[in-house]
Structures are given as C-alpha cells and as structure tokens.
A and B are shown apart, each in its own frame.
Chain A
Amino acid sequence: MKRFFGFVKKEFFHIIRDPRTLVILFGIPIVEIMLFGYVITNELKDIPVAVLDKSGDEVTVEIQNKIYSSGFFLRGGNLYSEKEIEKAFRKGHIKQVIVFEADFSEKLEKEGTAHIELITDASDANTASMIVSYTNAIIQDYMSYRNRQLQMPLQINVETRMQYNPELKGSYMFVPGTMALILMLISAMMTSISIAREKELGTMEILLVSPLNPLQIVLGKVAPYFGLSIINAITIVTLGNLVFGVPINGSIVLLMTLVMLFILMALSLGLLISTVAKSQQQAMFLSMFVLMLPTILLSGFIFPIENMPWLLQVLANIMPPKYFIIILKNIMLKGTGFEYVWKETLILIGMTVVFIGLSVKKFKIRLE
C-alpha cells in the first residue's frame, strides 16, 4: 500500500509540474462550460422578426411598433400569406414570424380577446425560447398598459409554435454534453498519454522490473485522474447550476455514482488506447479521433441523433457518451430516479468490463 501511495504521489508531481496538463485539467473545463453556456444563453439583440399582419389595424401596428422599438428585434419585413412563412425561415435570417389574426382590434373590442401566433425557429433551442419570452413580455406589457384605461380587461391570446425543434431539445444540453466531453478528455486522453509517456521515456520498463505488479502500476496511473475527474465533474455541475441555472432535479448521490461509473469507463478506454499507442503523440491522436470527435459529433450533444443517417445512428449507439448524456439529462433535468436509467447504466457497466478485459489481455501480450 505504501508503494502504491508513493506511486500516486509521483503521478501528482507529473501533473502539477506540467503547465500543459494543468491547463487541460482545470482550464478547459471552465472555459468550455462558460463558452457553451454563454454562447447558447447569449442576450438577445437585433433579432430579425417578420410580421404577417392579416388585419393591419391600429392595434396591431401599435404592438408591432412596441416590439420593434424594444431594441431586441429588427424589422424582418412583412409577409402577406401563410405560405410565405416557411419561405422566410428557409431564407435564413428570420428567427420569428408574428401572425396577427384578421380583424384583430375589432375582435379585441367586441369579444375582449384576440389571437397572436408566434412562430419561432427553434433549431437553436435556447435562443428560440428567449425570443418567445421576450416577445411575450412586450405584448403583455402593452396589454396591461391598455387595460389600465378600461374596466373590462381585454385579452390577447398568444400562441407559440416552435418550428423545427418543437420539444426544445438542446436547452440545458450543454451541461451534460460538456461533462461527457470533459470527463472523456481528462480520463481517457490524459491516462493514455501519461502511460504512453512512461513507455516512451523507458521508465515503464523500470516499473515492470520493480516489485510493483502490473495491476499496481495501472491503478497508480489511473487513481490521480479518477480523483481529478471527480473534482471536474463537481465543478461543471456547480458552475452550470450557479451561473446558468441548470437544475439538479434528481438525487445527487445517484448522479455522482453514475458520474464515477462513466469516469471508470473512460479510464478503461484510456488504458486500452495506451496498450495500443507506442508514443504520447499516438495516444493523443487516437484519443482525439476515437474519443473526442465522436463525443462531440455523435453523442447527441450538438446534433440530434434522430436526425442522423442510419449508419451514423448505428455508430452513435456504440458511443458511450450517448448513454451518459441520457443518464445526466434524466437525473439532472427530469429528476428521474434509477428506475429510468438502469438500462443505460447496464450498458456503461458492460462497456467498462469489455474495455478492462481487452486492456488486460493486450497488456499481457505486450509483456511477452
């Protein structure tokens, strides 16, 4: 045990003394979460909005003026029929179309209620929901101003429709996604690189000749990164919660347990890579192409898996991050318990076992 701790201590020296490692370990997670967080929840400014005004009366013009003078929105032109809506979106820069029903002010006065429909491009889900809530607020503001002068309160029904991504998938997605990405990066990439470094420097031979057994060597290499990954996971969840209000609705204990499982999976994947890679550079490239890119592109983090061609869907299904992201979304956002994520958990456990098995086998072959 004392030998083992000596080994772990040595690993910490390596980590602390290498500025590059430190940046990857602690800089990237924070930068990444801030980046994803702020890029997605950026404040609204000059969003082009088009109008389909079927009544064109005093009230609708007044509402339009209020919306356009708010500073959040730009005039994106007037549309004259429902058919033009789709076209306007397709052209690209219009983010929202506001549809006033026919005879708007007449209905408002006679029946006390009128309809506005907000159709929003939700391919960028976070921005879409912000656009809707800003527009809504302006309309409500206008109504309360008008209602002050009347005894009978009038009502404008605002109906919203999200185009392209009706369930607003993707909101808050950045925290689970970033977490998967970063844990993958640190656990798998850093371990594989640090083992490859020992091989490259020839120190691995010395370790193997020493009374340390291979299991102790591997655990000693992996333990520090396990610890650091957990710290990073906590940082990401805390930052996401405090800065961006991403909720943790489910059990924190369950969350952390499954986070540790994922870290274990990533570490065993890193081990497997290190048994194949002969140099640090190889380990880095392998980690990049085998782990990082698929995590970003195929995990459902940025691109929805349902929209991929079937071949990529098949690939996405063998990528561990996909299941981790499902688990995180369920526990953090939906607040569900273990009964909803046991399948994904089993898949991750299975993957971990396979990776460890393969690495042990490869490690033995290398020793021969």
Chain B
Amino acid sequence: MNTREVIIDVENLVKKFGSFVANDHLTFQVYKGEIFGFLGANGAGKTTAIRILCGLSTPTAGKIWVAGFDAFHQTEQIKRNIGYMSQRFSLYDDLTVAENIAFYGGIYGMSRKEIKEKTEVLLNKLEFSSQKNKLISDLPLGWKQKLAFSVAIFHNPKIVFLDEPTGGVDPITRRSFWDLIYEAAENGITVFVTTHYMDEAEYCNRVSIMVDGKIAALDTPEGLKNAWNANNMDEVFLKITRKL
C-alpha cells in the first residue's frame, strides 16, 4: 500500500477559529486512485478539513499537500486540479443538461471543441443523450445526482471531493451512484468522500473517522471491523464515537 503514489499528504493539520480548535493535528495520507471515506458526526470538523483541502480556507498550522501543491500558498493550482460536488448537487435548475456541462467545462478552462466532444461521450455513456436539452429542474433526483458527479469530474481532475453526495436518495439509486464512483477511481481519479451512511463506508477502500476535531481511527473497513470487533461499520462508528 505504502509504495503507491500519495496524492493528499496531511501532516499535523491544525485549524483554529479563535480559541476553538476545529481540526486538531490531523495526519493522514490518501493514495492515487483510492476511494477515501471521511466520516464523523456533525461538528466533528469534516467540513473544515475539506474546505482547507479544497483551497477555500487557510489552515492555521501543519503541512498540507494536495495533488502536489501547498495548501497555504498554492490554492489556485489546487483548485485547477480538483473537482467538487456537494449534497446540494450544484447544478443550475434553469439551465439545460448540456448548458450545465458547458458552463462547468468553461470555468475550468476547457475549449469549446473539447467540451462538445466530451459531452457527447458522457451523455452516451449515461444513456442520457435524449435528455440533452432538458432543464435540470425536470429531471428526477437520481439523475441530477449522477449528472452532478459527472460534471464534477468532467475536467478530469486528479481528486474529486464529494461532500455527502448521496443525501436524501434511496439505497438503490445510491448503489448505482457508487458504480460511477468506482469507475472514476478505476480511471485514476482519487475520490475523497464524506457520508452519513455506514453502508457507503463499506464501499470505500479506506475510512477515517473523526471525533471532536481529531482522527480517531483510520483503516480499511475490514481492518476497522476486526479491530473494534464489530459486524458492520455502523457498530464500528458507534463504538468509536461513544468510547471517546
């Protein structure tokens, strides 16, 4: 495992808001092409950490490298090399499918020709070509979500950050959404995902669990289950959060 290429390297990341410590000496590494689950209760500091990794917020201290760039000084380069999708899908309801794709491609500096070609490929792959000129507001939730993910990796980023991407969707749709995530990972895109759903945690290659601003555990789902003597990730999560 350790011989693989490290794409996110975090060493003693500290983020303070006044006297409140949101991230307390986080240290972890994420490997290229890995699906990395980032778990924790609300308020544990997940969002703060993601914002720092995405270059939205400056850390207080630590050494943080994302896609080879320094999170203190090279946030512009970081932004160029990552994709991002949040719970709220991030597509514009009043634009069509094609217009949304073109807009996001455009702000990542893709050429018009490239956008056009890749749009064809993408819509064919999703079997979605007939919906090309439909407004997003007319699409069912599951489709919006798949499309939002496809848009987030449309510019072929090195890492994609998914902030609770499957909120409010049924398990079947969630499953088919994860097929897309696996596919992206196979194509070498590193997936950094936060989730509330413990069944999703099982799909990750490795999982970290944050409690009160610290990383309480970090291993493969199997490893965690063995270490905590649990049948599933739900139990692991409960045991870790209660014990501490």
| Inter-chain contact B79/A13, CB cutoff 8 Å | no
Selected from B57, B79, B91, B102, the residue in CB contact (under 8 A) with A6 is: B102
Count of B residues near A, CB < 8 Å? 31
Residue-wise, chain B 38-55 has the 8 Å CB interface mask toward A (1 for contact) of 000000000000000011
Cα A24 to Cα B182 in complex, Å, equals: 47
A-B contact pairs, 28 of them (CB 8 A): A2-B106, A2-B109, A6-B103, A6-B106, A6-B107, A7-B107, A10-B92, A10-B99, A13-B92, A13-B94, A13-B99, A14-B94, A17-B95, A201-B88, A201-B92, A201-B93, A202-B87, A202-B89, A202-B90, A203-B91, A203-B92, A205-B90, A209-B84, A210-B108, A211-B76, A211-B80, A211-B107, A211-B108
Which parts of B202-236 form the interface with A (CB within 8 Å)? none
- Asked if A169 is an interface residue, CB under 8 A from chain B, the answer is no
The answer to the question of A219 belonging to the interface, with a C-beta cut-off of 8 Å to chain B, is: no
The CA of A368 and the CA of B18, in the complex, are separated in Å by 12
Asked if A203 and B94 make an inter-chain contact with CB atoms under 8 angstroms apart, the answer reads no
CB distance from A128 to the nearest CB of B (A): 49
B48 CB to nearest chain A CB (Å): 11
Q: Which residues of A contact B92 (CB under 8 A)?
A: 10, 13-14, 201, 203
Partner of A368, one of B57, B85, B86, B108: B57
Shortest C-beta distance, B122 to chain A (Å), equals 18
Nearest-CB residue, chain A, relative to B77: A211
Q: Is B35 an interface residue (CB 8 A)?
A: no
Q: Is the CB of B107 within 8 A of A209?
A: no
In the assembled complex, the Cα of A368 lies from the Cα of B15 at a distance in Å of 11
Whether A210 contacts B79 by the Cβ 8 Å rule is: yes
Please give the distance in Å from B141's CB to the nearest CB on chain A. 15
Query: In the complex, what distance in Å separates the CA atom of A13 from the CA atom of B80?
Result: 25
Contact of A207 with B by CB under 8 A: yes
Of the listed residues B84, B87, B94, the one surrounded by the most CB atoms of chain A closer than 10 A to its CB is: B94
Indicate if A208 sits at the interface (CB-CB under 8 A): yes
In the bound complex, CA of A212 to CA of B103 (Å) = 12
In whole angstroms, how far apart are the Cα atoms of A210 and B89 in the complex? 15
> In the complex, which residues 196-224 of chain A have their Cβ closer than 8 Å to any Cβ of chain B?
201-203, 205-213
User: Nearest residue in B to A200 (C-beta to C-beta)?
Assistant: B88
Interface residue ranges of A1-50 to B (CB < 8 Å): 2-3, 6-7, 9-10, 13-14, 17-18
Interface of chain A residues 301 through 341 with chain B (CB within 8 A): none
Q: Which residue from B76, B87, B95, B135 sits with its C-beta under 8 Å from A10?
A: B95
Q: CA separation between A264 and B99, bound complex, in Å?
A: 29
Query: Which residue in chain B gives the minimum CB-CB distance to A10?
Result: B103
CA distance A21 to B109 in the complex (A): 29
